[in-house]
Structure 1
Amino acid sequence: MSEYVIRSGDRAAFIAGLRELADFLTANPAVLVPRNASFGVFVDASDATARREGAEHVAASLGVPVEDIGEGYYDARRDFGPIAYSVIAIPPKERQ
């Protein structure tokens, strides 16, 4: 069985931070916002099968397919307006 590790953070703190940012931007219209922004989680695994499985695990929750972008990398992305949420499966350090 393949093994993978998904680099994830504190869910509640992340969501609270997003809400705090949205409230701040709403209250301060003079503050510029980026044209686009992105957030993502990373999958580490020693083999391509495990990397793809990890990416598929996250992609399923996002409701999007996984793309093999070559050289051992896999990617899945869902856009929310100008903001992207993605999962990226990266090859072992020795292949980067």
Structure 2
Amino acid sequence: MTDRRTAFITGLRDLATYFEANPNVPLPLQGITALYFPPKADDEEMRADIDHVAALLGSEIDPNDLQFGHYKTGLSFGPVRYEALAILADARARHEAANSYRDNIALT
């Protein structure tokens, strides 16, 4: 196992142990999602990466966010979810265009 993978798994276990030992600490109301983003590449490569993750998980590609340029799959463990998400080129371009005005807007 890689150091990063070992550290992540250990951190999840430590968090669960902490919550178990400290029942007065409030939990997130909406659960928690661990997100995996593939390396930025062309859409075909990123889709292939997410398809590979879906095969490993035994899950399907979620059709709900395809219209927004999000290609994703995931697996839920009660209120805890693992999700693999590729934000495709058109969606990244729309986001960058929308944010290009950010420095020119003053909130009063």
Which among 36, 51, 54 is matched to residue 46 of structure 2? 51
1:32 lines up with 2:26 in the alignment: yes
1:64 aligned onto 2:28: no
Measure the CA separation in 2 of the matches of 1:67 and 1:74.
7
Query: What is the CA-CA distance between 1:59 and the residue it aligns to?
Result: 1.4
Q: Does 1:76 align with 2:73?
A: yes
CA apart distance, 1:71 = 4.3
* Partner deviation per Cα, 1:44-68 (whole Å, 9 max, x = no partner): 2213x22211101111111101135
TM-fit CA distance, 1:25: 0.7
Flag the structure with higher helix content.
2
Structure 1 unaligned blocks of 5 or more: 1-8
Separation in 2, partners of 1:52, 1:66 = 10
Whether 1:13 and 2:13 are equivalent positions in the alignment is no
Q: Which amino acid letter does the alignment assign opposite residue 75 of structure 1? A: K
Tell me the TM-score normalised to structure 2 length: 0.70
AA in 1 matched with 2:24: A
Residue in structure 1 matching 2:36, options 38, 41, 50: 41
Query: Whose relative contact order is higher, 1 or 2, with alpha carbons under 8 Å and at least 6 apart?
Result: 1
Q: CA RMSD in A?
A: 1.9
**Structure 1-normalised TM-score?**
0.78
The runs of 4+ residues in structure 1 deviating greater than 6 Å are none
Where does the alignment leave 5 or more consecutive residues of structure 2 unmatched? 96-108
Larger strand percent: 1
Partner of 1:90: 87
* Count of aligned residue pairs for this structure pair: 87
In 1, the alpha carbon distance for the partners of 2:35 and 2:55 equals 14
Percent identical residues = 38
